[in-house]
Amino acid sequence: MMAKKGWIVIVITLVISSTFVTCVTAKGPHGQAGKSNIAHLYLYEKDPISWNITENGSWGKMKYELSGEEFDFVFNGHNLTPFENYSLIYYPDPWP
């Protein structure tokens, strides 16, 4: 069961099942939306060597609830490679 108070630690890993591996990171306007229980997280594809955001790369936005009995979210991914397998991974508080 998830704690009702506090921030949810979220780790989202974009896994591609081909020989090309991409890395993602959170950047941009994210966090709690006003005084609501809703928060947003933006994720961007990054170059695995320089760690710079890849121009025209994959990206996504997650809308999630900060607290509740279950981890409730909506994730929208963009510029993803068709027919690839992707995994969205969630690690609840506290960090393992």
Reported as type and span, the H/E element at residue 47 is none
Residues 6+ apart with CB under 8 A from 28: 42, 44
What pLDDT is stored for residue 4 in this prediction? 33
Q: What is the pLDDT along the chain (96 residues), one digit of tens a residue?
A: 343 333 333 323 333 222 233 344 444 456 666 678 899 999 899 999 999 999 999 999 999 888 888 888 999 999 999 999 988 877 776 755
What pLDDT is stored for residue 72 in this prediction? 87
What pLDDT is stored for residue 55 in this prediction? 93
Which letter does DSSP use for residue 55 in this model?
A: T
What pLDDT is stored for residue 54 in this prediction? 93
